[in-house]
Chain A
């Protein structure tokens, strides 16, 4: 062993270096922990969360034209669209829309297939439910967006 490494060992230079690192990390600004229900994380813009059915913001009518493209694009066949032709306007109108999130892998193919930008993957990530049936979301839930539980004491 050379003189320099020996001196390093005797004066415990490496140990002291380690101690200084842990000491500096104690500053509160270094803390990485997020206190989840109180502080919500910033979700990335392109995060793929729960699908959402967009509505026309002015009229509040759905943008869906019941073309069934999303249902055929879904690799897991999770989307069911039921439609009816309106006798007055002669247009197909969406009656029921269900999406089984329990097997959804958030691939975004339905979003890409949608021709009216109605179906869109949102940034909602809180999908826990009390039952499996609760994960089959209907039109109302998909249009209203996330209903986060507000925790109070």
Chain B
């Protein structure tokens, strides 16, 4: 038994590939905890960042700078009465939040946080992810339908209509990135070369293709990769029902859209699922276009010196955060009512500092850095989500449809065709030559 557990540590595979159930369960639990922690962090971060964009302060009372606000909210939601409308379809009403949560968390099975840091490496990874994350819309539609109320029904309808306008453009963008994995050339414009590229749908394979081609796919065949990435970046905001495409839950129009009738714990499940889906979709974007767990400049700044320099980043990030926290501890207003909060903030900063120092330990440093680079890229996307929400007004429904069908879809097709043609340029030239010769 012990051998079964320890043997895996020597292998260089994901638990799924190694067929090790124990470590698969451990990874799943770790990812579940990690994503939940990310949701908590995101809840606080969104309220603070959004507040500052709107020149407000945001939560300030529960804990220093409102750091404990998410926990207070969670406690409040758990203690709230769980109400189901008397005319609602009870069974469907209960199942809907489950569908949304389960689909949002299932996608994380194939997310590669590192070369071996994934639950499993499916050979259809990206297809699995897109398929399962699209199923979340089913939960939203069922929630809207089962509530038996006007506003949720409108929200559900909008959600399904939004999905058909965006999934196609999203799929085309993804396919153009998958096409790029089949190139064997090196560098931003290398397509042909000796032998054929791997051409894979596996999430780990896609990142390895970027590693082999020495370029992130955003910069591949510039600007084709960038355009495809742009399409995906717009479509993923619509996919997760976030501002400016938050039509299914438009507060100013539909009260709360599909979750109007939900309260307490069930509502918090929708909340959890929304944020988990945001992380999931961002990790698709990071894997496909931004090099997944690869550190920046793996090719230009290669060598053991640069490797060591870049592996110091995780610890430095935490130390900077700790320094920032201490700076704010000093800046805290000197008031007897704020004494406990000031001490709490200081302790929090100290914990961050200790974690930062731990991350400098060579063994930890080597293990953690691919997870770090992946998370930092996802975190940038999370910030973008908040930034969009703080800036853009909601699209009207016809504008959204117009953008999806008349702009993103044709551009997506164009990018896909152009990528394919450039990828096949050598063969096409041969073929043209042959035709000319024959003529």
- Identify the A interface with B (CB < 8 A): 15, 18-19, 21-23, 25-28, 30-33, 35, 38-39, 151-153
Decide: A31 and B387 in contact? CB cutoff 8 A.
no
Complex Cα–Cα for A25 and B336 (A): 30
Contacts of B29 in A (CB 8 A): none
Q: A31-B57, A32-B56, A35-B60 are in contact. Are A22 and B390 (CB under 8 A)?
A: yes
User: In terms of DSSP, what is the predominant structure of the interface of chain B?
Assistant: helix
Q: Does B54 contact A (CB under 8 A)?
A: yes
13 A-B interface contacts by CB (under 8 A): A15-B391, A19-B391, A22-B390, A22-B391, A23-B53, A25-B54, A25-B55, A26-B49, A26-B53, A28-B52, A31-B55, A33-B56, A35-B60
Q: Does B437 contact A (CB under 8 A)?
A: no
Contacts of B53 in A (CB 8 A): 22-23, 25-26
Q: Contact size class for B?
A: 10 to 19
Contacts of A30 in B (CB 8 A): 52, 55
User: In terms of DSSP, what is the predominant structure of the interface of chain A?
Assistant: loop
Decide: A152 and B336 in contact? CB cutoff 8 A.
yes
Contacts of A25 in B (CB 8 A): 52-55
Q: Does B131 contact A (CB under 8 A)?
A: no
Q: Does B337 contact A (CB under 8 A)?
A: yes
Residue B392 contacts which of A15, A26, A35, A152 (CB distance < 8 angstroms)? A15
Give 4 nearest A-B pairs by CB, closest first. A33-B57, A26-B52, A22-B53, A22-B391
Q: Which of B48-83 contact A (CB under 8 A)?
A: 49, 52-57, 60
Contacts of B390 in A (CB 8 A): 22
Q: A23-B387, A26-B49, A38-B335 are in contact. Are A18 and B57 (CB under 8 A)?
A: no
Complex Cα–Cα for A22 and B387 (A): 8
Q: Which of B63-118 contact A (CB under 8 A)?
A: none
Q: A12 to nearest B CB, angstroms?
A: 9
A sample of 13 more A-B contacts (CB under 8 A), given A19-B387, A28-B52, is: A18-B391, A22-B387, A22-B390, A22-B391, A25-B53, A25-B55, A27-B52, A31-B52, A31-B55, A32-B55, A38-B335, A152-B337, A153-B337
- How many inter-chain contacts with C-beta < 8 Å in the A-B complex? 46
| CB nearest neighbor in A for B230 | A12
Residue A153 contacts which of B49, B57, B340 (CB distance < 8 angstroms)? B340
Q: Does B420 contact A (CB under 8 A)?
A: no
Interface centre among B55, B57, B392 (most CB of A within 10 A): B55
Contacts of B19 in A (CB 8 A): none
| CB nearest neighbor in A for B48 | A26
Q: Does B333 contact A (CB under 8 A)?
A: yes
Q: A26 to nearest B CB, angstroms?
A: 4
Complex Cα–Cα for A152 and B338 (A): 9
**0/1 interface trace, chain B 365-392, chain A, CB 8 Å (1 if under):** 0000000000000000000000100111
Complex Cα–Cα for A32 and B52 (A): 10
Residue A18 contacts which of B54, B55, B392 (CB distance < 8 angstroms)? B392
| CB nearest neighbor in B for A34 | B57
Complex Cα–Cα for A39 and B57 (A): 14
Q: A70 to nearest B CB, angstroms?
A: 39
Contacts of B336 in A (CB 8 A): 152-153
Decide: B337 and A38 in contact? CB cutoff 8 A.
yes
Contacts of B56 in A (CB 8 A): 31-33
Contacts of B52 in A (CB 8 A): 25-28, 30-31
Q: B384 to nearest A CB, angstroms?
A: 9
Complex Cα–Cα for A18 and B392 (A): 8
Contacts of B333 in A (CB 8 A): 38-39
Contacts of A153 in B (CB 8 A): 336-337, 340
Decide: B57 and A35 in contact? CB cutoff 8 A.
yes
Q: A68 to nearest B CB, angstroms?
A: 45
| CB nearest neighbor in A for B384 | A19
Contacts of A27 in B (CB 8 A): 52
Complex Cα–Cα for A18 and B53 (A): 11
Complex Cα–Cα for A15 and B391 (A): 8
| CB nearest neighbor in A for B411 | A10
